[in-house]
Amino acid sequence: MKLGFRITASAGAVFLAVALLTGCAVSGASVQTPSASATNPYGGFKVDNPKDTDVVLTVTGAKSVDYTMGQLKDLADQKITIVEPFVKKRQSFSGISLQALLESAGIQPKDKVDTVALNEYEFADSAANLESAGAIIAVSRDDQPIPMDEGGPIRLVFDTKSKYFSNLDAWNWSLRTIKVVTK
């Protein structure tokens, strides 16, 4: 009888601990664990930054072009300083105009493109709209690599003057692929 009681009591304690850790209510008490969005608007977890030799972006149009982190850093010729809308903090981003990368893969302004993040988040629009919005592929923030758990290593950003600055759906972070959408 004592062994059965211990197993039942142990199982009950485990159930209670799991319920409390996951934020479930148990007998009127609840403990809320902070969500990733409450502590970090990008979610995720710490991951080492890519090496300069790691391919971090593939752009596919008439041809497919892979870019390493080092190549993107070398191509970075744009800089904007904005109040980043997700963290509401003044930050400077350095990167490459999206237009230059689209042209390198033979993507035309009339083409519809899909930007795809590492977590499979997608935003689709015409190349012309993204180009006219001044989209930049950011490779650094405040002259430092952008950590993966903070929207890096590369991300799509827009200047405050851009028509897409307030369209948060277009801000694709942890970007991995840009490709022409075929019908």
DSSP the chain: -HHHHHHHHHHHHHHHHHHHHTT--BTTB--PPPPHHHH-TT-----PPPPTTSEEEEEESSSEEEEEHHHHHHH--EEEEEEETTTTEEEEEEEEEHHHHHHHTT--TTSEEEEEETT--EEEEEHHHHHHTT-EEEEEETTEE--GGGT-S-EEE--TTSTTTT-GGG--BSEEEEEEPP-
Number of compact structural domains in the chain: 2
- For 18, the domain range is 2-33
Whether residue 129 is contained in a domain is answered as yes
Average pLDDT, the chain: 81
CATH label of the domain that carries residue 142: 3.90.420.10
Domain co-membership, 170 together with 82: yes
State mean pLDDT over 8-12.
Answer: 38
Domain co-membership, 86 together with 22: no
pLDDT tens, 58-110? 999 999 999 999 999 999 999 999 999 888 999 999 999 999 999 999 999 99
Domain co-membership, 22 together with 110: no
Sorting pLDDT into bands at 50, 70 and 90, what band is 40?
A: low
Whether residue 41 is contained in a domain is answered as no
Whether residue 66 is contained in a domain is answered as yes
